[in-house]
């Protein structure tokens, strides 16, 4: 995948690579744990009214910065049924949507565990 999640002491880091990094003009996004309000897993409906700021939109891939209902989104996914959706406060983005290699209940429990237990520099590939 073109986004790797790295857990730091205070922040969750998204390391962006490949064409996603080129299209979004970003290689890293830092998300302080204190800014994560909610984590959802499952389906993300990409609205046709989304405004692309930078990125890629095709039938099989969405990546980049988008405005959706006046909220700032960072997207990186192929399969919208395998989405992890982070709702953030006081952050550069209001929502981050990325695809997970895991699916279903296991994916949900993984994210709840990650965001509720302090982990010292662990890594999770999504």
| pLDDT value for 1 | 53
SS3 71: strand
In terms of residue numbers, what domain contains 61? 3-125
**Token pair belonging to 6:** 């790295």
> Looking at residue 7, what is its pLDDT?
87
Work out the mean pLDDT of the chain and round it to a whole number.
Answer: 81
Q: Which residues of the chain have pLDDT under 50?
A: 105, 108-109, 117-126
Tokens of 104: 């279903």
Q: Check: CB of residue 122 under 8 Å from CB of residue 7.
A: yes
| Biggest CA pair distance of the chain | 40
pLDDT digits (tens, 9 = 90+) for 62-90: 888 999 999 999 999 888 888 899 999 99
Q: How many domains does the chain have?
A: 1
Asked if 116 contacts 109 with a C-beta cutoff of 8 angstroms, the reply is no
pTM of the full structure: 0.77
What number of other Cβ atoms are within 10 A of residue 100's Cβ? 22
């Amino acid at each position: 995948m073109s986004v790797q999640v790295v857990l730091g002491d205070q922040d969750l880091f998204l390391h962006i690579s490949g064409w996603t990094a080129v299209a979004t003009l970003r290689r890293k996004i830092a998300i302080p744990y204190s800014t994560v309000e909610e984590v959802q897993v499952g389906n993300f409906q990409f609205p046709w009214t989304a405004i692309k700021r930078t990125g890629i939109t095709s039938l099989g891939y969405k990546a980049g910065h988008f405005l959706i209902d006046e909220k700032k989104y960072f997207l990186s996914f192929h399969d919208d049924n395998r989405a992890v959706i982070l709702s953030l406060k006081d952050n550069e983005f209001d929502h981050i949507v990325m695809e997970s290699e895991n699916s279903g209940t296991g994916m949900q429990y993984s994210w709840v565990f990650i965001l509720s237990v302090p982990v010292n520099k662990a890594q999770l590939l999504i």
